[in-house]
């Protein structure tokens, strides 16, 4: 293996290089919250226009009516939107330091002899940055929005508003202005979140394939307590925030605003959400975990060989020869023993226990929220 040096020249991936992400989070960051607040003000103004703010009066009699200010999901979605924007901003800010941090922590070693490993690494970073910020993600996101919202509207209009049992403040069949405001907001939200999913998938795949070119070298004494690989663990936890937001948006749009509770597709969506969350977390980390585990085993095996020979020599001196063990031998055994103890504590996952608890929280809070809403 060949050591990779010259840490100053490594580039930082810029995830906000495309026009949409760059305009929003590249320039405004968490201040995008103001736009979300403006959207909610639009909902209120549309409800005032239709007279659905506190009550709904209709010429027909549905079983349930849901005014805006009596819709608990209006408040819940507003809070979730603020949390989602904050989390996305955090993820985008974490990406540049993740891959630069791997190099700066000196944990990458090229598998083959390279004239300039840092140039190879930078070239890989430039390629993934170019692909990640391409407008191809806009095509995929637009198709998803068109298919998802188109099928939803078709199903919605199959039942006339006068025959539906539930009429909410955002029902586009009865209150077109409120419906347009709601559908437009969620369409833009879906579009942007899908773009983020596209970026996340590319970054996760890059991290996974990075092992084909570089080995991950564990540094047992590194202050991050993860062998210098903590940036990777933090990145995978941060990526799951995007999955978390995506699932919450799905629940919020397809179930909550209509006041009809959760439907069967969402029950199938729960295990899928858990699967994808676990996949996005462990898929890029598994080769790193294997590398860390093998390095710990190799180090412990080498130390065991040294300790074994010294212990045998010490026992021979005491039992067979009946002589005292020299202080030099005792110091050597003590030094190797301390190294062995330290090596035994080498991490085999690039994250701390608190980080894994944070990951589990991000995975299961949405699930528990859906269950709570159901009952």
Strand partners, 168: 66
Q: Which of 245, 238, 360, 222 is nearest to 292 (CA)?
A: 222
3-class SS of residue 15: coil
pLDDT at 249: 61
Contact status, residue 284 vs residue 236, Cβ threshold 8 Å? yes
Tokens 């394939």 map to which residue?
Answer: 209
* Cβ neighbour number for residue 316 with a 10 Å cutoff: 11
CA distance 93 to 28: 12
Half-sphere exposure of 31 (CA within 13 A, CB side): 6
Rounded-to-integer distance, Cα 366 and Cα 243, Å: 10
Give the sign of the dihedral formed by CA 284, CA 144, CA 13, CA 131: positive
pLDDT value at position 2? 42
**pLDDT score for 328:** 64
Burial-class residue 246 by CB neighbours within 10 Å (0-12, 13-18, 19+): buried
Task: Write down the pLDDT at residue 46.
Answer: 93
Can you give the pLDDT at residue 326?
A: 62
Residues of the chain with pLDDT under 50: 1-7, 256-262
Q: Looking at residue 160, what DSSP letter applies?
A: -
**DSSP 8-state assignment for residue 23:** I
The predicted structure's pLDDT at residue 263 = 53
pTM of the model: 0.74
């Amino acid at each position: 293996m060949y050591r990779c040096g010259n840490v100053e020249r490594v580039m930082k991936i810029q995830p906000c290089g495309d026009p949409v992400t760059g305009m929003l989070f590249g320039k405004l960051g968490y201040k995008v919250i103001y736009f979300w607040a403006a959207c909610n003000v639009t909902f209120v103004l549309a409800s005032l226009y239709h007279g659905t703010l506190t009550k709904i009066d209709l010429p027909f009699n549905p079983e349930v009516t849901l005014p805006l200010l009596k819709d608990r999901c209006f408040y819940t979605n507003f809070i979730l939107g603020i949390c989602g924007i904050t989390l996305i901003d955090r993820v985008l800010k974490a990406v540049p330091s993740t891959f630069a941090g791997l190099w700066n922590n000196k944990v990458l070693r090229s598998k083959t002899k390279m004239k300039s490993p840092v140039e190879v690494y930078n070239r890989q970073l430039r390629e993934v940055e170019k692909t990640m910020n391409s407008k191809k993600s806009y095509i995929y996101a637009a198709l998803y929005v068109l298919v998802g919202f188109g099928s939803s509207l078709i199903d919605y209009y199959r039942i006339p508003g006068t025959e539906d049992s539930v009429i909410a403040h955002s029902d586009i069949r009865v209150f077109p202005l409120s419906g347009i405001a709601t559908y437009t907001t969620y369409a833009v939200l879906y579009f942007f979140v899908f773009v983020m999913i596209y970026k996340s998938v590319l970054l996760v795949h890059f991290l996974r394939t990075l092992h084909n070119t570089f080995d991950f070298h564990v540094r047992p004494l590194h202050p991050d307590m993860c062998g210098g690989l903590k940036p990777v663990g933090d990145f995978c936890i941060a990526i799951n925030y995007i999955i978390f937001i995506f699932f919450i948006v799905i629940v919020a749009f397809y179930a909550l605003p209509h006041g009809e509770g959760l439907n069967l597709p969402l029950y199938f969506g729960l295990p899928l959400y858990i699967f994808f969350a676990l996949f996005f977390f462990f898929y890029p980390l598994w080769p790193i975990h294997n590398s860390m585990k093998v390095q710990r085993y190799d180090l412990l095996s080498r130390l065991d060989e040294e300790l074994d020979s010294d212990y045998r020599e010490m026992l021979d001196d005491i039992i067979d020869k009946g002589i005292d063990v020299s202080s030099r031998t005792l110091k050597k055994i003590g030094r190797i023993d301390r190294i062995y103890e330290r090596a035994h504590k080498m991490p085999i996952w690039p994250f701390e226990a608190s980080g894994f608890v944070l990951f589990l929280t991000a995975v299961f809070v949405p699930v528990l929220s859906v269950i709570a809403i159901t009952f």
